[in-house]
Amino acid sequence: MLDEEKVFKDPVHGYIYVNDPLIWDLINTKEMQRLRRIRQLGTSYVTYPGGEHSRFSHSLGVYEVIRQIIQSFARNAYEWPSEYNQLVMVAGLLHDIGHAPFSHALEKVIGLRHEMWGERIILEPTTEVHQVLAQIDPELPSQVASVINKTHPQKLVVSLVSGQLDADRLDYLMRDSIFTGVDYGKFDLARIIRVMRPLGGRIVVKRSGLHTVEAYLLARYFMYWQVYFHPVSRSAEVILKAILKRVKDLVAGGQEPPMPHPALAELFTQSLRLDSYFALDDTVLFNAFNVWQDSSDPILKDLCRRFLNRHLFTYMEYPDHDMDTYQKLRVQVQSHGYDPAYYLAVDETGTVYYDYYLGAENSEDKDSALFLWDDDEKILIEMSRLSKPVNAIAREKQVIRRLYFPHDVR
């Protein structure tokens, strides 16, 4: 234990408490500090000026939520394998360690897989994270990695980090809600933690907590509509991807633009080393766009100016994916002198607000469902059977499809 409890002030949890020196040392590694320079919400700041918070504060928040859950389990004397306490707090803290700046765009255009990089950061002996972990126990790095990539045999531990009601979601919904100022994402976190309990190798919820968990699932639904699916933020994402694609194409064509950070050259030639991966953060990308806004390539120049100055694309809803509309718009885009490869995009985004699968009794997939524990009847009941609103948004995938293009094309 630390001599003196450390705390971080946090607008979401009030305070984040650190007593374990391992947690403190991990927070102070350069790989964790790098997350201060990666925004949690990617391009959402263009719509919600307050949404500028980083993955660093989210990571601290996930750790804190896990700490509180474990504390509640102990206070209520629930059956819980407390020998995993440190492991699961560490896994929560590190679960986003591999994230690149604007992860989703980089994954789509360049093929970066942040899960893989996260695993490398934990497992390769050159990183500070690895060294801090291995000093405690040489097995710890691989155990942490296995919790994060969900292969750890103790499913109970995994489900606190990744599940229908995990600390990751609990923190980011609250955090994104508070920083954007969008109230819909708030729910009663203290009560959710109180109604959670481990039971038969699974985290379940006491039946009395039905409406609290309902409110949490509906908060997800609202946050997707108000924030994550927001058409203006998606427009910035569309332009971001167009920039990345343009640079990739220029590099492929032997017309590489100046690379104001060495890691960028490796990124666009798919030859990233682990060290260079660390260097990548939002500021490296923003600075590159800043340099490229004076590029000799007119497309790259224009796209970067659009991104930096918020001259975004407009859009039309495109639910049916009909080729006719697309082709007509394509012709129009071209007739305005724009290359459709960069100036016309189908943006598809979506989620399942609450998914469940009720397979055979021993099926792994059962863990995807949220179960309520009825202590009188001694039975587990799947969430959507008890809640009409949840049933109404369960299972089906919500897909939003839009066509993006410059304003003057309309």
Of residues 328 through 347, those in contact with its own copies by CB under 8 A are none
Question: How far apart (Å, rounded) are the C-alpha atoms in residues 315 and 279?
Answer: 34
Cα-flanking dihedrals φ and ψ of residue 325, to 5°? -55, -45
Site for its own copies in 242-261 (CB under 8 A): 260-261
Site for its own copies in 102-131 (CB under 8 A): none
320 versus 361: smaller Cβ distance to its own copies: 320
Q: What's the closest the beta carbon of residue 262 comes to its own copies, in angstroms?
A: 7
Interaction between residue 218 and its own copies (CB under 8 A)? yes
> In this structure, how many other beta carbons lie within 10 angstroms of the beta carbon of residue 25?
17
Q: What's the closest the beta carbon of residue 153 comes to its own copies, in angstroms?
A: 31
Question: How far apart (Å, rounded) are the C-alpha atoms in residues 67 and 180?
Answer: 25
Site for its own copies in 156-215 (CB under 8 A): 178-184, 186-188, 190-191, 194, 211, 214-215
Among 24, 33, 124, 327, binds its own copies (CB under 8 A): 33
Among 10, 25, 297, 374, binds its own copies (CB under 8 A): 10
Among 123, 149, 199, 222, binds its own copies (CB under 8 A): 222
Question: How far apart (Å, rounded) are the C-alpha atoms in residues 377 and 392?
Answer: 26
Interaction between residue 34 and its own copies (CB under 8 A)? yes
| Amino acid of residue 75 | R
Instruction: Return the bridge partners of 203, or none.
Output: 198
Question: How far apart (Å, rounded) are the C-alpha atoms in residues 390 and 377?
Answer: 22
Q: Name the residue with tokens 């006719």.
A: 324
Site for its own copies in 38-97 (CB under 8 A): 45, 48-50, 52-54, 56-57, 60, 75-76
Question: How far apart (Å, rounded) are the C-alpha atoms in residues 186 and 226?
Answer: 13
103 versus 143: smaller Cβ distance to its own copies: 103
Site for its own copies in 13-32 (CB under 8 A): 14-15, 19, 28-30
Strands 14-18 and 314-317 turn out to be: unpaired
Q: What's the closest the beta carbon of residue 261 comes to its own copies, in angstroms?
A: 6
Among 350, 389, 395, 410, binds its own copies (CB under 8 A): 389
| Helix or strand (DSSP H, E) at 21 | helix 21-27
In what order do the strands lie in the sheet containing 379-382?
Answer: 196-199, 202-206, 371-374, 379-382
CB contact set of 131 (below 8 Å; sequence gap of 6+): 125
Which one, of 176, 175, 169, lies nearest residue 192 by Cα?
A: 169
Site for its own copies in 265-324 (CB under 8 A): 279, 281-284, 286-288, 290-291, 293-294, 305, 308-310
117 versus 146: smaller Cβ distance to its own copies: 117
Interaction between residue 232 and its own copies (CB under 8 A)? no
